[in-house]
Amino acid sequence: MKRVYNFSAGPAVLPEEVLREAAEEMLDYRGTGMSVMEMSHRSKVFEGILNEAESDLRELMHIPAGYKVLFLQGGAHLQFAMIPMNLMKNRTADYIVTGQWAKKAWKEAQIYGKANKIASSEDETFSYIPDCSDLDISSDADYVYICENNTIYGTKFHTLPNTKGKILVSDVSSCFLSEPVDVEKYGLIYGGVQKNIGPAGMVIAIIREDLITEDTLPGTPTYMKYKIHADANSLYNTPNAYCIYMCGKVFKWIQRTGGLAAMKARNEEKAALLYDFLDESRLFRGTVRKEDRSLMNVPFVTGDAQTDAAFVKAAEEAGFVNLKGHRSVGGMRASIYNAMPRAGVEALVEFMRKFEEENKAHV
Ligand SMILES: *Cc1c(COP(=O)(O)O)cnc(C)c1O
């Protein structure tokens, strides 16, 4: 068996310890004689797995009592519709468009009401976060929407926007559990889990209870009402049980390794290794405004498409995989999520240094 360093943006690297544990429990989960995949979602054993996952997440993020935690299917994409269907009481919302994911959410919301683009960084290929300290927030906006970490472009909101009292809704898919978070600043935090937490196909939504109501837009399918899932403790229909089980293991792994503050410190160290190198390199450079850099997704280029392609190929052969940038931006992107060990980033930087040395001609 040979594991590679997987820099994929998602589905992404999971902690090796977690994968080993899951492998051990694959055929017989703790004396039940079956895998979690084969288990009734109504069984006591699964109920225990679900409740423990929720309570561990609550502890990690210090989620206050007035918030519900929902484990939902349909990935982040379904939330692009579920959010307006449930929250657009005035049929108006403000969107800050800082990348493809926010743009998709904004476009989807236009099906349901007036979705205003109140700020954007598209003028410079989403390479920065606009100043959101004094935006023209619509007086009747039901919420202000952001994508907190832009997976494709590698930017992150290091300061949350001033929503002037409006509810903040945030897609945290690619920065979930990467650092401590003040849940009370949000009405709704949600993220697909396949970037930083578990296998694909599920979303965790953390919603302030007063936002979970019967009052949804006319025509909202039963399945897309937060209230249905909240009342059923995320067991309205058969959930993605194995995914919940895996997420639960990752929560325990984060607890064991010191919680979110320790995670943030490690993520900052790992990101600094790469950014410091990019800043001093004569071949590679980062593409994002420094103060807006993400700790999770690090895009970089050489400035020459052929050299980029040669680098990606050579890296792959050396065991550093999925470094090709998103098809919309080209170049390279190293996603260095929670589960990417520091050794992986160190080895990558070493490899880049060597590549630079050997490709002096292009510098
Ligand atoms: C990956 C990603 C999505 C899309 O997730 P799906 O689960 O494929 O729907 C949405 N938002 C962000 C920030 C992402 O990184």
**pLDDT value at residue 356:** 97
Q: Is 335 in the pocket of ligand 1 (CB under 6 A)?
A: no
| Ligand 1 atom 3 nearest Cα | 76
Q: How far is the CA of 85 from the centre of ligand 1 (A)?
A: 19
56, 94, 142, 171: which one is catalytic?
171
Q: Parallel, antiparallel, or unpaired for β 168-171 and 188-192?
A: parallel
C-alpha 357/C-alpha 355 separation (Å) is 5
Q: Is 192 in the pocket of ligand 1 (CB under 6 A)?
A: yes
C-alpha 8/C-alpha 334 separation (Å) is 7
Q: How far is the CA of 77 from the centre of ligand 1 (A)?
A: 7
- Other CB atoms within a 10 A radius of the CB of residue 295 amount to 25
Contacts of 160 (CB under 8 A, 6+ apart): 132, 146, 168, 170, 185
**pLDDT value at residue 363:** 61
Q: How far is the CA of 111 from the centre of ligand 1 (A)?
A: 19
**pLDDT value at residue 117:** 98
Q: Which residues pair with 73 in a beta bridge?
A: 202
68, 94, 101, 106: which one is catalytic?
101
With the C-alpha atoms ordered 270, 152, 148, 226, is the resulting torsion angle positive or negative? negative
**pLDDT value at residue 329:** 83
Q: How far is the CA of 173 from the centre of ligand 1 (A)?
A: 6
pLDDT in tens, 168-191: 999 999 999 999 999 999 999 999
Q: Residue 328 burial by CB count (10 A; 0-12/13-18/19+): exposed, middle or buried? A: exposed
> Quick one: which of 1, 53, 15 has its CA closest to 233?
53
Q: Is 108 in the pocket of ligand 1 (CB under 6 A)?
A: no
Tell me whether residue 253 is one of the annotated catalytic residues.
no
**pLDDT value at residue 1:** 84
166, 195, 249, 270: which one is catalytic?
195
**pLDDT value at residue 224:** 98
Mean pLDDT for the stretch of residues 124-132:
97
C-alpha 238/C-alpha 243 separation (Å) is 12
Instruction: Give the pLDDT band of residue 327 (cuts 50, 70, 90).
Output: confident
H/E stretch holding 67? strand 67-73
- Please determine, for residue 361, whether its predicted confidence score (pLDDT) is greater than 70: no
Ligand 1 atom, smallest distance to 10 CA: 1
Tell me whether residue 171 is one of the annotated catalytic residues.
yes
> In a mutational test of the pocket of ligand 1, which residue from 97, 98, 103, 174 has the highest number of ligand atoms less than 8 Å from its CB?
174
Q: Is 201 in the pocket of ligand 1 (CB under 6 A)?
A: no
Q: Is 10 in the pocket of ligand 1 (CB under 6 A)?
A: yes
| Ligand 1 atom 4 nearest Cα | 76
Q: Is 148 in the pocket of ligand 1 (CB under 6 A)?
A: no
- Please determine, for residue 362, whether its predicted confidence score (pLDDT) is greater than 80: no
More confident residue, 54 or 330: 54
> In a mutational test of the pocket of ligand 1, which residue from 96, 101, 149 has the highest number of ligand atoms less than 8 Å from its CB?
101
Instruction: Give the pLDDT band of residue 360 (cuts 50, 70, 90).
Output: confident
Mean pLDDT of the residues in the chain: 97
Where are the alpha helices (H) located in 143-258, listed in sequence order?
Answer: 226-231, 241-256
Q: Is 326 in the pocket of ligand 1 (CB under 6 A)?
A: no
Q: Is 196 in the pocket of ligand 1 (CB under 6 A)?
A: no
pLDDT in tens, 25-68: 999 999 999 999 999 999 999 999 999 999 999 999 999 999 99
pLDDT in tens, 284-314: 999 999 999 999 999 999 999 999 999 999 9
Tell me whether residue 164 is one of the annotated catalytic residues.
no
DSSP 328: T
C-alpha 33/C-alpha 13 separation (Å) is 29
